[in-house]
Structure 1
Amino acid sequence: MTIKYTPDHEWVEIHADGTATVGITVHAQDALGDVVFVDLPDVGKAFAIGETAGVVESVKAAADVYAPVSGEIVEVNEALRDDPALANTDPLKAGWFFKVKLSNAAELNGLLDSTAYDELLKTL
């Protein structure tokens, strides 16, 4: 299981079956504060890399969630819709946002590994 990151503070867990799970990082949820609402994409909708795939709203701000890779949404986290605070309490596990079937696995090469993401955080 490989996890990559985006400069927009999303994580991408890559699965052997050609899908990936997407969520926001600990840094993102810290910056947002208490998450009160998430707008998740529709299953079956396709996104190009960088397109807005959802929105997360907190008591401080609203932020877009971008598609870190191109593909079709195959599942969304209904538990997160019912309990948006999961994005704060468990952002790297139970607080995942959606799963996507990759249409271009080569795009994963443009994402950050954990070392590069940690270096990015030091510049903020």
Structure 2
Amino acid sequence: MKKKIIFLCAIIFIVSFTGCNGNSAKVNTKEEAYIKQEIKTDGVELIMSDKSYKEMNGNEKNAVNEVLKKWDSQEENFKNEYKVRKEQIEKEKKEESEKMKGDLEKTNRSKEAMLKSIQGKN
């Protein structure tokens, strides 16, 4: 129960902190949202305390800023990986489509050849 409360407090802190600074990112997919959530929960322990950000000393603020930088870099890495994977899937679909088109053309040619040979026998 205590962990759930700490987790919820961390989420509220993260949302309020990023929302106040305008650094919140738009979420395009459920998968992206899930991965962002995983990234953000990795560093929650580092920024949870009884103090608000304004009350923290320099070292504590630096720790919070490091966590936020880590999240931003992980989010950027995810976006890059997501883009590469999406392009790869599109390329695979296009190749499969071209292959199927070629197979269909072969089938049509063999059908035409069979029809001509049948018509030639009659």
Identify which of structures 1 and 2 has the higher relative contact order when contacts are C-alpha pairs closer than 8 Å and 6+ apart.
Answer: 1
Instruction: Looking at secondary structure, tell me which structure has more helix per residue.
Output: 2
Q: TM-score, normalised by structure 2?
A: 0.21
Q: TM-score, normalised by structure 1?
A: 0.21
**Greater CA radius of gyration, 1 or 2?**
2
